[in-house]
Amino acid sequence: MPSQPTTEASGDSLLQAMSDAILAIASEPRLDPVLQKLVESAQHLVDARYAALGVPDEDGESFSKFIFTGMSDDLIAKIGPLPRKHGLLAAMLTDARPYRARDIREDPRFEWWPDAHPRMTSFLGVPIVSKGNVIGAFYLSDKNGASEFTADDQSTIEMLAAHAAVAIENARLYERSRELSVIEERNRLARELHDSVTQVLFAVALKAETAAALAETDPARAKQEIDIVNGLARDAAREMRSLIFELRPAELEGEGFIATLEKHVDVLKRVYQREIIFRNDGYEPMPPENEAKLFRIVQESLNNAIKHSEAATITVTATASNGFAKMVVADDGKGFDLSAADLRSRRLGLTSMEERSEELGGVLKIDSSPTGTRVTVEVPLA
């Protein structure tokens, strides 16, 4: 059996490979890509032919996710459904101890394989433990060029498992944060519907009743009321189109921040018939989760300018310098009193903008006067 390399160079190479794997994993916030990078890193670090990573469901007795590498798509299709609740794989979800075997089939916990499943021999299983709970497990089999995995291989995967626990927990927190953001956005839209569209529709109903009452006694006045109804209905339609557009998730990861913002500005221009100018003066990309929050700040600033400022022109400018991204939304409208006692109740979006800016480690500044309002947000690029 080939011996394991013991030279300082090979140790340095292993450390470099581990460092590269950890950096790659740390750069990805989403759970599924994190799991894929973890299983590929494990396969590479110990030179295994097959590798998999299982994540238990809420009961901890079966798999909610089972990610693998080393098998073709055709082979996976022939094997059939993923493993659920049997054999050594499931047993390791309740046992926090690593396990090595020269031949997995000799283990009493081994049960069976589907007909198309590769006949594996050497095996290394390492649980991923966080706060005393098994949150996943690495499964590696058929070490290339050797009859079994070594103690050094086990130590390597145990080291990776420690980092994997942190990466998986962080990815889960990120996904929960995104879920909370969706709920927050729905609540915001619900407030928008109540504050604008619902009130407009109520006014439409009142004006329609007035017109009906005046139809015979004062036709001229009734016509005026109907004209008002038409105007209110058009306002409600514009507001609904805007809200429907906001319900669509921003395509930040697919199209990028600038392209998504340009598209958003174009839609607002068509819906509200306003002069909205967008300028990109050297913006530099940030992590998608940061750009999503920055996008919401700009979006809220635009909403306020459109609905409250009575501005003829609104300008959005994106720049970056000295390690900071800077967004400016300026209008030539009537402005508002920043010290007004009821400002927060009337414009709840201002609080949301400040909170998002703080989450990004940035600064939000609002300057307003009777000649216009300027909203500036600066956040670190890193």
Question: Which letter, b or e, does each residue of 164-189 get, where b requires 16 or more Cβ atoms within 10 Å of its Cβ?
Answer: bbebbebbeebeeeeeeeeeebeebe
Among 155, 175, 195, identify where a domain stops. 175
- Quick one: pLDDT at residue 7? 38
- Quick one: pLDDT at residue 93? 76
Same domain, 168 and 52: yes
232 — pLDDT class (breaks 50, 70, 90): confident
φ, ψ of residue 376 in degrees (nearest 5): -125, 130
Who contacts 130 (Cβ-Cβ below 8 Å, separation ≥6)?
165, 166, 168, 169
**Nearest residue to 53 (alpha-carbon basis) of 150, 148, 151, 165:** 165
Same domain, 165 and 294: no
Q: pTM for the complete prediction? A: 0.47
Among 175, 194, 215, identify where a domain stops. 175
Same domain, 29 and 168: yes
Percent of the chain with pLDDT over 70: 76
pLDDT digits (tens, 9 = 90+) for 198-217: 677 777 888 888 888 888 88
Structural element, H or E, at residue 43: helix 31-46
The DSSP call for residue 104 is: G
In-domain check, residue 226: no
Cα(188)–Cα(194) distance, integer angstroms? 10
Mean pLDDT (whole number) for 137-148: 91
pLDDT digits (tens, 9 = 90+) for 238-273: 666 666 555 554 566 667 889 889 888 887 887 778
In-domain check, residue 234: no
Structural element, H or E, at residue 314: strand 313-321
Among 175, 200, 230, identify where a domain stops. 175
Q: How far apart are the first and last CA of the chain?
A: 48
In-domain check, residue 345: yes
In-domain check, residue 154: yes
Higher pLDDT, 104 or 371: 371
In-domain check, residue 188: no
Is residue 324 within 8 Å of 272, Cβ to Cβ? Answer: no
Distances, alpha carbon 50 to alpha carbons 68, 183, 351, 381, in Å: 8, 40, 51, 39
Same domain, 23 and 163: yes
What's the structural domain count of the chain?
2
* CA atoms 287, 290, 292, 297: torsion sign: negative
Higher pLDDT, 127 or 234: 127
Higher pLDDT, 17 or 376: 376
In-domain check, residue 251: no
**Nearest residue to 39 (alpha-carbon basis) of 53, 23, 25, 26:** 53
pLDDT over 50 at 4, yes or no: no
pLDDT over 80 at 94, yes or no: no
Residue 261 has a CB neighbour count (10 Å cut-off) of 25
CATH of the domain at 65: 3.30.450.40
Mean confidence (pLDDT) of the chain: 80
Q: Which domain holds residue 327?
A: 273-382
In-domain check, residue 115: yes
CATH of the domain at 326: 3.30.565.10
Residue type at position 217: T
Find residue 140's DSSP bridge partners.
51, 124
In-domain check, residue 301: yes
- Quick one: pLDDT at residue 31? 79
